[in-house]
Amino acid sequence: MKPQHRTLLALALFLPLAALLLATFACLPTPVGDPEKSAVDPSLSGIYKGVPTKPEDKTTELAILKPWDNKTYLLQYLTVEQKDGKEDRQIQHYKVWLTTISEKTFLTLQPLDDTASLIGADPSDKPFWVVLRVDKVPTGLELRIVNPDSDYLKNLTKQEEFEAAIKAHASDNDLYGDLITFKKLGKADEAQIEEVLTKFNTK
């Protein structure tokens, strides 16, 4: 499996299973915004648990979002899935920054787990980014992934073109995929957080 395909699969795990197919193809060829001009919003930092779209979905999804510096975040995304009597565990890492467009806040995710270039290998896949609109709600976050197959984004190739299209259609549902929700965890959830972290030896 190519590095990009592995990362795309892991990215799909960032979303509830109902959005799996969309996530696999929901990458942009350019980033949105500039991490060097961004600023961390401390209220977004925290540990979040994915809210399943189906009651029968027993996959545990934990997103740990913490500042890397005063401009960007490090996102650790952990999933534990029970399948065919076995437990499958995945952990992925992303550099994340905020961009405000048309009074909406967007997260740009840059995958960090492709190590090919670090050992002198020639990456066979082009770089890609994932962009999500984020809205704070009392229980946590609502996310809408920017869908590269949206009619608003067709035939675009440059960063400024994508940013202009997002600016023009930031409030249009047709720019996005399905709504996904993450609950922000707190001290009362410490036991379930520790249970997941122990599985990855990240305590």
Q: What is the pLDDT along the chain (203 residues), one digit of tens a residue?
A: 344 444 444 444 444 433 333 344 478 999 999 999 999 999 999 999 999 877 777 788 999 999 999 999 999 999 888 877 788 888 889 999 999 999 999 999 998 887 666 666 666 567 889 999 999 999 999 999 999 999 999 999 999 999 999 999 999 999 999 898 999 999 999 999 999 999 888 65
Alpha-carbon distance of 75 to 32, in angstroms, equals: 17
What local confidence, expressed as pLDDT, does residue 127 receive?
80
Q: Are 90 and 13 in contact (CB under 8 A)?
A: yes
User: For the domain bounded by 3-199, which CATH number is listed?
Assistant: 2.40.128
Supply φ then ψ for residue 174, to 5 degrees: -70, -5
Supply φ then ψ for residue 96, to 5 degrees: -130, 140
What local confidence, expressed as pLDDT, does residue 26 receive?
73
Instruction: Indicate the pairing of strand 140-146 with strand 176-184.
Output: antiparallel
Q: What is the pTM of this model?
A: 0.83
Alpha-carbon distance of 143 to 77, in angstroms, equals: 15
